[in-house]
C-alpha cells in the first residue's frame, strides 16, 4: 500500500531537505518505489538531485496551479526506483494563488490521486512555513516526519507546528499521524547535542526515531554536486545514517 510522508518543520536549517533527499534515495536503492515532491519554493530538493535528472518535465506548480496532468510533471531520475516532481521559483506565488481556489487545502491531494498507487512511498519536502503549501501536504499525508536539529532553540516553534498538526487532524485529515521525530546534526563530542537530544526525548517520548543523523561533512558537501550523500560518498556516516533510518521505517511498517 502507498504511504505519503511529509517532512516538515517551519524552522529553517533543521535538515529537512537533506533528510527528504537522502531518505528518498535510500528508499530507492532499497528497491522501494519512491516519489519525491519538492514543495519548497527554494527548490533545494530539486538542486540536491540535479546530477540524477537529465531534464525536468514540469514542476509541482504546473500541477497545483496550472492544472497540468500529474503524469506530465513527473521526472524520472537515473535511479530505477526514484521519480521526482521538481519545484521552481514560480512556487513563491502559489500561497497567494491558492487562496482563491475552492477546496484550496486539497489541491495537492487531487494532484496525487491519479498516481498514488504507482509508488510505495511518496515523500514531500515542505517549505519552512505553516502556510497553504504545508497545509496541502499535511492534508494528503498519512504521516509526518519532524526533523529537529541538536542545537540551541531546537524546540522553538514546535508547539505551533504540533498545534497545526492537531488542527489538520481535527478538520482536514483525521488519519494524519506523526511518523517520528528525527534528531539531526548530532555531534557526540558536544554536551549541547546530548542535552538537546535528552530534552527532545523527554518531550516526544516514544515518537523519536532510534536512528540519529550525525553531523557529517559529506551531507553538507553533497548538495553542491547535485548528489545525495549515498552517491557522493556511500561510506560516509551521513549516508549510512539515512540507510539505517529507512530500515527502521520499513521495519516499523511491517
Residue 30's CATH number: 3.40.50.300
CA 234 to chain centre: 21
Q: Which domain holds residue 16?
A: 3-253
Q: What percent of the chain has pLDDT over 70?
A: 100
Average pLDDT over residues 174-203: 91
Average pLDDT over residues 75-85: 96
CA angle 4, 9, 12 (to 5 degrees): 130
Average pLDDT over residues 23-52: 96
Q: How many domains would you assign to the chain?
A: 1
Average pLDDT over residues 176-194: 92
Round the average pLDDT of the chain to a whole number and report it: 93
Strands 82-85 vs 121-125: parallel, antiparallel or unpaired: unpaired
Amino acid at each position: 500500500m502507498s504511504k505519503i510522508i511529509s517532512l516538515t518543520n517551519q524552522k529553517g536549517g533543521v535538515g529537512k531537505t537533506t533528510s527528504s533527499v537522502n531518505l528518498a534515495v535510500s528508499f530507492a536503492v532499497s528497491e522501494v518505489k519512491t516519489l519525491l515532491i519538492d514543495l519548497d519554493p527554494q527548490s533545494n530538493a530539486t538542486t540536491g538531485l540535479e546530477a540524477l535528472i537529465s531534464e525536468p518535465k514540469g514542476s509541482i506548480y504546473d500541477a497545483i496551479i496550472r492544472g497540468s496532468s500529474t503524469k506530465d510533471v513527473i521526472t524520472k531520475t537515473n535511479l530505477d526506483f526514484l521519480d521526482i516532481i521538481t519545484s521552481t521559483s514560480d512556487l513563491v506565488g502559489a500561497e497567494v494563488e491558492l487562496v482563491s481556489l475552492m477546496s484550496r487545502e486539497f489541491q495537492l491531494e487531487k494532484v496525487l490521486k491519479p498516481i498514488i498507487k504507482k509508488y510505495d512511498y511518496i515523500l514531500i519536502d515542505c517549505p519552512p512555513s505553516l502556510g497553504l503549501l504545508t497545509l496541502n501536504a499535511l492534508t494528503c499525508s498519512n504521516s509526518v516526519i519532524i526533523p529537529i536539529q541538536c542545537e540551541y532553540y531546537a524546540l522553538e516553534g514546535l508547539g505551533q507546528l504540533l498545534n497545526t498538526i492537531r488542527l489538520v487532524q481535527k478538520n482536514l485529515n483525521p488519519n494524519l499521524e506523526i511518523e517520528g521525530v528525527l534528531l539531526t546534526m548530532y555531534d557526540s563530542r558536544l554536551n549541547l547535542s546530548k542535552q538537546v537530544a535528552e530534552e527532545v526525548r523527554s518531550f516526544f517520548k516514544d515518537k523519536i526515531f532510534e536512528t540519529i543523523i550525525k553531523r557529517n561533512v559529506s551531507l553538507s558537501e553533497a548538495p553542491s554536486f547535485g548528489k545525495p550523500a549515498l552517491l557522493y560518498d556511500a561510506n560516509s556516516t551521513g549516508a549510512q545514517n539515512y540507510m539505517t533510518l529507512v530500515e527502521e521505517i520499513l521495519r516499523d511498517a511491517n
